[in-house]
Structure 1
Amino acid sequence: MLRCSHVLCKVDDVRSVVRDYESLGFTVEYGSAPERAHNALLWFEEGPFIEFFQLPPVFRLAKWPMAAVHGRAAGHLLAHWSRPGQGWRDLALETDDTSLDRVHSVLRGSGVGVSRVMKGGRTRPDGNRVRYQFLATRPARLPFVVSAYDPPQRPAAVHHPNGARRIARVRMGVSEHDRAAYDTLAAHLEQDGPLTVQTSPATGVLSVELDGVTGRLDPALLHGAVLTAPARKE
């Protein structure tokens, strides 16, 4: 039912991210008009993509109103996203449907703690409106769930000058404390996807492995993201 959609990286300034990643040989697309964008997208022709987003810490104050409207899990998710610092912040799981009503019912029925379904949207740089739905899971450290974009957003062709072709592996750590909740959610995941899970002191994305990258990626320009290349076979 669900598959790995995209990895979210919290950053301090989206415009700096776009400049730095372009200097590393990536092609990056603003989520909306560059002068007011709060997110940017690093697409691949297949599989998961990366979203960079900025969210001021003051948004943590919206935790309680968010919880009152959409459920406690939604408030916790907003607080989780708005914590200070850069780096991997979350993992999104997606479905093919543009509505999450069925997924919400199935997850809740199987014991996954979820928020109410929330509606989101943004206006692309070309002026077209994009709509989607999402829901939070409990605890907020676990992946959240998104619908398909309406209309679809993946570019037909993507070229990264540094050779990057796709995300080969998303490595996620899950703490012993969160393992039971994660396993309940993971029962609805595709089995042959790029997500690899290992026991870790804290739950969250550890690293993203890219196929095809040539040359070194300067960590100082990655804004907290941990990007690696597949190990070479001897």
Structure 2
Amino acid sequence: MKSQRAQWLLWCMVAIGLLILIFLTPLALEKVAPSQKDWGRLSAVSQTYGALSVPLSAIALLGVAASLAYQAHQTKIATEEAERSSHRQLLMYSLDHPEFLVCWEPVAGMPSADEMRRRIFTNLIIANWHADYLLRRWNDQHARAVLNVHFQGELARKHWEQSASVWRRTAEASGDRRKIRFVDLADESYAIAVETGPGVPPENYFADPS
């Protein structure tokens, strides 16, 4: 993201520089003209400048347009992150105060309160990876590598069995191809994990202290 931001700033600086060059060129011609001006020659130079100023102006305008597009993209990212942050805060508050779990939509299978909390936390994990993928911090290979390991767990598989359809509907409703692609990757990793055999149950995560 930093390198991308630097590229857009460079484009913006180039556009501003070209605009300044365009506006200052007539003054420069006036200054450098000899005292006994050859107006015919100066006119020819000016016409040449006029022809060159058209593509220079177009490049400058493209730079400004690119800068505005980048700013709009950054604003969109900031808005979506604020929405995700608000949602995370609500979920974390519910985890800390289980009496509010019933304020969310009911979960299929009638889980216990502890199971509900585990599913919510698992969903937060997936949502965090989803954000990294949307922001292009992750590519497909990175997402596959993480999801393949994630779905080795029994709870991770149960969560996706219950939530995959919701993730799919939300992604398709948004029309965002990258959101849809993330769900595709999760489905693929889940299917591969299921083929390998049963998932690791929670009680087998840790060594027996005895």
| TM-score, normalisation: structure 1 | 0.23
Whose RCO is larger (CA < 8 A, sep 6+)?
Answer: 1
| TM-score, normalisation: structure 2 | 0.25
User: Greater helix share, 1 or 2?
Assistant: 2
Which structure: larger Rg? 2
